[in-house]
Chains A and B, each alone.
Chain A
Amino acid sequence: GAGVSQTPSNKVTEKGKYVELRCDPISGHTALYWYRQSLGQGPEFLIYFQGTGAADDSGLPNDRFFAVRPEGSVSTLKIQRTERGDSAVYLCASSLKPDSYEQYFGPGTRLTVT
């Protein structure tokens, strides 16, 4: 079956602009996670959804970052007033349940803020 998909694969935006990054999880997976990977670092947790609700958003760096999952499937990560420090690869993962053994990762969206 299809894996986790993310669009766009690359996004270049100017400082101060608003961006939306989309994640389409594996069908039937109830848990969805967003991570951010900066150059030379491992992925860092941003937010986790169980169904439609954000169960843990402790990793969001500030209030410019927001994510939604209105129907419990597709999720959108929204970044307002982008800054150059937001440049990174944004990864999405899903799992069948929150306590499932494996999180399946998507290919990521590479965001570059100029």
Chain B
Amino acid sequence: AQSVSQHNHHVILSEAASLELGCNYSYGGTVNLFWYVQYPGQHLQLLLKYFSGDPLVKGIKGFEAEFIKSKFSFNLRKPSVQWSDTAEYFCAVKDSSYKLIFGSGTRLLVRP
């Protein structure tokens, strides 16, 4: 069965620091990869997605992620975080079925 691992459960950063959140998945076939974000009091929103092509994908709010097939990874990055990036971030994978398999999430706290 597929699984998704997010290595950092809690991350605390100061504003302007750089961010990298790790994500690894177990499936060896063709996958679609996602990062979702949940801001406090809000529902899950899509941050970015990878389906094919350029392995470096750019999403909203300055986030980007790199798909490295050989490492089964899809890490999320942002060069300079803001206080408003405080949220929970979920990595997810979708294979030939239509359901999403989520990681356990990373809670990011950005201190002003």
Contact = CB atoms under 8 A, between A and B. Distances in A.
Contacts of B102: 35, 42-44
Majority secondary structure of chain A interface residues (helix, strand, loop or mixed): loop
Interface stretch (A11-19, A20-28, A73-81, A100-108): A100-108
Nearest to B91: A42
Nearest to B51: A101
Given A31-B98, A59-B99, A98-B98, A41 B105 contact: yes
Of B43, B45, B97, chain A has the most CB atoms within 10 Å of the CB of: B43
A56 B92 CA distance: 18
Contacts of B105: 40-42
Contacts of A42: 4, 6, 90, 92, 102-105
Interface of A: 31, 33, 35, 40-45, 48, 55-56, 59, 91, 93, 98-99, 101-103, 105-108
